[in-house]
Chains A and B, each alone.
Chain A
Amino acid sequence: MHGFANPTRFLSIARPLTPAFMVSGLIMVAIALFLGVFNAPADRLMGETVRILYIHVPAAWLGMAGWTSIAIASLVELVWRHPLAGIAARASAVPGAFFCALCLATGSIWARPTWGTWWVWDGRLTSMLVLFFLYLGYIALADASQKDAAAGRGGTSRVAAIFGLVGAVNVPIINRSVVWWNSLHQPASISIGKSAIDPAFLWPLGMAVIGFSLIFGAIVLMRMRTLLADIRIEARMRRLAAA
């Protein structure tokens, strides 16, 4: 794993991977959304609004996967002190927060015609909103600790890493919320090895999830490259100032 600790080696891999992930992701999402809108049938109970599934589910998956990435990268940063782990965690925060917000917004839009309300304070929706606030807190904390470190005030990314690790407790709560508490939100339709969704809905959904995940990966790589460039700029400025 430490073989990828060298930023130059990482960049040589990330540069070709970024457009590959982005282009394949965009193609898959375009096909999935086309099939979802024009080919998949309307649902017996939800009617045409079932098509929101192809945006809402990938957004929910990536909102939770984003924080899981932050937690894993934070653990690697704290335990193995991998130099790129903190950068990977910070790079996952903005896209994770975006997809979390998209999940909340599309869920609210979907709730109005199906539940008759834009919002209810039940376990699933509230825990997802808490995740969004955790993202905002993490972004602020990581940004502040990076600025402190750059200014030589002793701040490190360890505080953000601990926050990222502790915040991961919310991810299983979101996942199990529909089982633990009464909710208007339906329980999980897909679990390991089985699915309650008809293949007509499942195929475009699978493509949308993979496609959006590839786009998420490309965005994380872009943000990692940006953060690495910013660190190099900072180091170079300090060298120029000292000279």
Chain B
Amino acid sequence: MTQWTYVIMAYGLGIAGTAGLIGYCWFALKRAEARLDALKRK
């Protein structure tokens, strides 16, 4: 493997992981807020 392969592996992991974490937290927040709004309307 060349040095760039290791760089791409690290960047891929960092960018994909961070994007995944942001997405997971964002959808969890939206789901919780939607549930709360639905309960408020009851």
Contacts and interface: CB of A to CB of B under 8 A. Distances in A.
Interface residues of B, number: 26
Chain B interface SS verdict (over half): helix
Chain A interface SS verdict (over half): helix
Contacts of B35: 229, 233
A11 to B, nearest CB: 10
Given A59-B14, A215-B18, A229-B35, A109 B29 contact: no
Interface of B: 1, 3-4, 6-7, 9-11, 13-15, 17-18, 21-22, 25-26, 28-29, 32-33, 35-36, 39-40, 42
A-B interface, 9 closest residue pairs, ranked by CB to CB distance from nearest: A229-B32, A55-B14, A48-B3, A52-B10, A106-B10, A222-B25, A226-B29, A109-B10, A226-B32
Given A229-B36, A236-B40, 14 more contacts: A48-B3, A49-B3, A55-B13, A105-B10, A106-B14, A109-B13, A113-B1, A222-B28, A225-B32, A229-B29, A229-B32, A229-B33, A240-B39, A240-B42
